[in-house]
Amino acid sequence: MSKNTVTLHRILATSPAKVFRAFSNEDAYASWLPPYGFVCKVHQMEFKEKGSYKMSFTNFSTGNGHSFGGEFIEIKEATLIKYTDRFDDPNLPGEMITTVRLSKVLCGTELHITQEGIPDAIPVEMCYLGWQESLEKLKKLVEPEIPDA
């Protein structure tokens, strides 16, 4: 891990289309994105290139939270999502860029995520830990195949 960058890699036993849907559906996104101990509210999400979003994470124990938003820079169906993040808190300045790459592999989907420009006030190892927790929740959302009743 470099000073302000986190890189993650996972293999998920499901299709790239299903993983992509977990990023593009605001209810699904809110369910898996916040790390353990946080809840997420999506205030607005326009999932398209040049579309914007606004959301907040709230610490379930303390009730404290932070809000952030950004813009979707590039979206390619089931293969690429690139977006910006800016915190509303002036103590967390700058813009992060997150790139999500999805590739079909024999056993499902290869997922590569890079988040660059993490504010100096956020320890990179905490950001990395948060992403690991989020990806565990993503796995539990997308891997089950639940038939219709």
Residue 79 has pLDDT above 80, yes or no: yes
Q: Identify the band that residue 112 occupies on the pLDDT scale cut at 50, 70 and 90.
A: very high
The total number of structural domains that make up the chain: 1
pLDDT of residue 2: 62
Distance of alpha carbon 89 from alpha carbon 93, whole angstroms: 7
Q: Does 129 map to a domain?
A: yes
Structure tokens given for 1: 């891990």
> Percentage of residues in the chain with pLDDT exceeding 90?
94
* CATH number assigned to the domain comprising residue 36: 3.30.530.20
pLDDT of residue 122: 92
Torsion of CA 53, 41, 17, 106, to 10 degrees: 120
Distance of alpha carbon 4 from alpha carbon 149, whole angstroms: 47
pLDDT of residue 84: 98
Q: Does 41 map to a domain?
A: yes
Q: Does 147 map to a domain?
A: no
What residues make up the domain containing 106? 5-142
Residue 148 has pLDDT above 90, yes or no: no
Q: What does the buried/exposed string (b/e) look like for 99-122 if buried means 16 or more CB atoms within 10 Å of the residue's CB?
A: bbbbeeeeebbbbebebeebbeee
Contact criterion met (CB below 8 Å) for 15 and 142 = no
Entry pTM: 0.94
pLDDT digits over 26-60, tens only?
999 999 999 999 999 999 999 999 999 999 999 99
Q: Identify the band that residue 101 occupies on the pLDDT scale cut at 50, 70 and 90.
A: very high
Q: Does 149 map to a domain?
A: no
Q: Does 148 map to a domain?
A: no
Averaged confidence pLDDT in the chain: 96
